[in-house]
Amino acid sequence: MQRRIGVIGGSGVYQIDGLEGAGWRAVETPWGPPSDEILTGRLAGLEMCFLPRHGRGHVHLPAEVPARANIAALKMLGCTDVVAVSAVGSLREDFRPGDMVVLDQLIDRTTGRPGTFFGAGCVAHVSLADPFCAELSAACVASLRQVGAVVHQGGTYLAMEGPQFSTRAESRLYRQWGCDVIGMTAMPEARLAREAELCYASVAMVTDYDCWHETHGAVDVAQVIAVLGQNAQLARSMIAALPLHLGASRVPCPCGCDRALDHAVMTAPDRRDPATLARLRAIAGRVL
């Protein structure tokens, strides 16, 4: 199988530089349109699809991002792997603004966001014990080191609802929980990528110290934007370096991401709703 990388760009990352044969494509999914058209092309011989999570011009609030349509659109375009980039606040002294964190764990504190493709006549349960693909994450770490980024391998992301930033009490609480960074978009994206059997890695760009840090004050959007410029360039350089660390041919994922739906569907075949099945074939046709 040919590898095709989907890149979801977060705040400050709205394009990929150097794509050959680049063109924007509109994709309609059973869950509606994604955040924007998807930029497709080749980078160093590797097929890539780029989707700006908030839309070009940053038009979607975190809770308004159509995560199901975004993941489904990338799956429908043949993506096998997804690298998500997002801006975060740091909950640790040693994760400094300008640093990059390749995540390995998540805590979900979002509310009311559709977090599954299943239901309405077809039930499935996948494991999310390790929400990120270790192999793809390692490639992101290697690429970031290659381009000179300060990168932390592993970290726990607290997904908050937003769009407001944390209170000081919340920020201190999340530090007590052992969280390392805080953001608004990794969930339900990671859940949906697992259901779609996509290898998924998340690169978090640290822009600030949230509001727990006594000497840095509250989060300020101007401060965030100032750091984003530097981080976004590093993220784009990382993406350009990925082909060196990922082969063009896709072998079975050692983490099992591409087989996440094996034995996951619980509903008996004769009880599955036909309309639901018709939608699900876009992301789960392998097992239905």
Catalytic residues: 208, 210
Q: Which residues are bridge partners to 199 per DSSP?
A: 81
End-to-end Cα separation, the chain, in angstroms: 20
Token pair in block for residue 233: 């360039």
Could you say which DSSP state residue 129 is in? S
109 and 34 Cβ atoms separated by less than 8 Å: no
- CB atoms inside a 10 Å sphere around CB 19: 18
Amino acid letter, 20: E
Q: Which residues are bridge partners to 108 per DSSP?
A: 159
Cα–Cα distance measured from residue 269 to residue 114, given in angstroms and rounded to the nearest whole number? 24
Q: Residue 193: which of 108, 77, 68, 37 has the closest Cα?
A: 68
Q: Is 230 left (phi over 0), alpha (psi -120 to 50) or beta?
A: alpha
174 and 167 Cβ atoms separated by less than 8 Å: no
